[in-house]
Amino acid sequence: MAVTGWLESLRTAQKTALLQDGRRKVHYLFPDGKEMAEEYDEKTSELLVRKWRVKSALGAMGQWQLEVGEPAPLGAGNLGPELIKESNANPIFMRKDTKKSFQWRIRNLPYAKDVYSVCVDQKERCIIVKTTNKKYYKKFSIPDLDRHQLPLDDALLSFAHANCTLIISYQKPKEVVVAESELQKELKKVKTAHGNDGDCKTQ
């Protein structure tokens, strides 16, 4: 029921679409004023970016909050070479999904795989990442499961480590896979603008 509810909210949202640089960019405006922007690979329909924006209590538009995709470097253009080098050495957390899994990458973690612990916290509905040497700790939720009101399952969680990057995967429940497939069908109905001007046409 929850999955149907979320999918229905996406169907009823005001949608605009633009095809640009090999990406299908979709903007959603919900009745409560929230905005969501997604970018899909034009050929594979793989989700590349998802971000949210909400209005403040005074009605002003807030900053975009990234949910999926690689964050842009913060102020890199204003930093000197030494500061840029130091910043690049810090762990970088990002989410990049595949067709079958939610996936997160944490770069600049040089420790051996057996140093890491990755588990589900059922009470807080989040995933916790920590190291036995106490050098790194991170907890994060899976908003998709919250929107669909689905439980977290330790059996769907796995992780790997290579090239100083910790890769955490959570297999998508079948309900999510079905909902994403239905959404792609829905997005094909949205009139899509073409070009480089950044303008979108309304559904």
* Whole-angstrom distance, CA of residue 182 vs CA of residue 185: 5
Model confidence pLDDT, tens digit, residues 68-119? 999 876 554 454 554 444 456 899 999 999 999 999 999 999 999 999 999 9
Which one has a higher pLDDT value, 193 or 66? 66
According to the model, what pLDDT value does residue 73 have? 66
The backbone torsions φ and ψ at residue 164, rounded to the nearest 5 degrees and listed phi first, read 60, 25
For residue 40, the number of C-alpha atoms closer than 13 Å in the C-beta half-sphere is 18
In the sheet where 126-131 sits, what is the strand order? Answer: 116-121, 126-131, 137-140
Domain locations along the chain: 6-69+88-193
Please state, as a whole number, how many other Cβ atoms lie within 10 Å of the Cβ of residue 176: 19
* Whole-angstrom distance, CA of residue 38 vs CA of residue 136: 30
pTM of the entire predicted model: 0.83
Protein fold of 6-69+88-193 = Immunoglobulin-like (2.60.40)
According to the model, what pLDDT value does residue 59 have? 75
Confidence tier at 170 by pLDDT (50, 70, 90)? very high
